[in-house]
Amino acid sequence: MQKISGFVAIIGTPNAGKSTLLNSILGQNISIVTSKPQTTRNKIFGIFTRDNMQIVFVDTPGILDPKYRLQDFMKKEIDSSFDESDIIVLVVDTYKYNPEELKTTYEKYKAEFSTHKMFCVLNKIDLLKKEEVLEIIGSISSQFKFDEIIPVSAIKKFNIDDLINTIAKYLPNNEFYFEADTVTSQPEKFFVAEIVRQNVLKQYKDEIPFSVYIDVEEFKEREVGKDFIRASIIVERDSQKAIIIGSGGTKIKALGESSRREIESFLGRKTYVELFVKVRKDWKNDEDFLKKNFNKQGAPVI
């Protein structure tokens, strides 16, 4: 049977549900999801293989107008995802549907859209009435040029198979890029950092802003005993460091416990996790820091 395969970029505004969509497609969490906007920073590659088909999904940061160097990097992650993709999937939050916002996004990437097959995926339709969804579909159909408009609920996993089957119709004849049992191209170390960062965002909520970075300094796999992981939580201010640690170290201890449980579940083996907190003032605008700690994680290994 002839194999088909290709790359599909997933783009959209912050909190449109891009990462939830990718996790739903793959049937497991490889992309960090929280209620905070701009949670995804790097391109994350999720590989879906079934029968003679392989789709390499590229989850990207939310579309934004950069205000500091970290966001410049994030914008480049979006832009570079177009170069390698056969299809672009624009995820729209139907619950907060704004025609003007969609128009702005469409105009911003009009040149890229014109050279790719374009899908508009209407997410969160479980929060609307059927008549409201049909009205939005009609509005988008009359104003924009998309090859496909597909309503889904990523969190409810509604219409995900229809999305996959529709993508398959546009994929070229091609050999697989990855082994059939591969789910992502990122190394385990990357996901360990993402798990810790997700727990920081969940545990501290509004106390700690977007400006936190996790540096996995040591990751030792052991044939006997637990794997050893040492990671530093990088923040921008001393006051943030104090919040992360908590009175008598109670908060960082709780953070370590919740992170360890999730890391063990992800890796499928026992681990010992050691966390520290370091201050690096204004790291979001530190060019050398960003190049060292972000570029090495963004690209797929093919």
Q: How far apart are CA 54 and CA 176, in angstroms?
A: 6
Strand order in the sheet with 271-279: 213-220, 227-235, 271-279
User: Given this model, what pLDDT does residue 274 score?
Assistant: 96
User: Given this model, what pLDDT does residue 112 score?
Assistant: 87
Instruction: Determine the angle formed by the axes of helices 130-143 and 99-108, rounding to 10 degrees.
Output: 40
Q: DSSP state, 165?
A: H
pLDDT in tens, 4-53: 999 999 988 888 888 889 989 998 877 655 545 455 566 788 899 999 99
Q: Which residue, among 142, 148, 41, has the nearest Cα to 87 in the 3D structure?
A: 148
The single-letter code of the amino acid at 92 is: V
- The answer to whether 212 and 41 have CB atoms below 8 angstroms apart is no
pLDDT in tens, 5-18: 999 999 888 888 88
The stretches in the chain having pLDDT less than 70 are: 31-42, 66, 68, 209, 294-302
pLDDT in tens, 142-181: 999 999 999 999 999 999 999 999 999 999 999 999 999 9
For every residue of 188-202, which 3-state class applies, written as one string? HHHHHHHHHHHHHHH
User: Given this model, what pLDDT does residue 288 score?
Assistant: 84
Q: Which residue, among 4, 9, 18, 5, has the nearest Cα to 115 in the 3D structure?
A: 9
User: Given this model, what pLDDT does residue 32 score?
Assistant: 59
Q: Which residue, among 207, 214, 213, has the nearest Cα to 239 in the 3D structure?
A: 207
Length of the chain: 302
Q: Report the phi/psi class of residue 133: left, alpha or beta, with left for phi > 0 and alpha for psi in -120 to 50.
A: alpha
- The answer to whether 252 and 208 have CB atoms below 8 angstroms apart is no
User: Given this model, what pLDDT does residue 297 score?
Assistant: 41
Alpha helices in 217-299 (DSSP H): 238-245, 250-267, 287-293, 295-298
Say what the pTM is: 0.79
Q: How far is CA 117 from the centre of its chain?
A: 21
User: Given this model, what pLDDT does residue 211 score?
Assistant: 74
Phi (first) and psi of residue 175, to 5 degrees: -75, 160
The single-letter code of the amino acid at 178 is: F
Q: Identify the structural domains of the chain with CATH numbers, from first to last.
A: 4-168 (3.40.50.300), 188-298 (3.30.300.20)
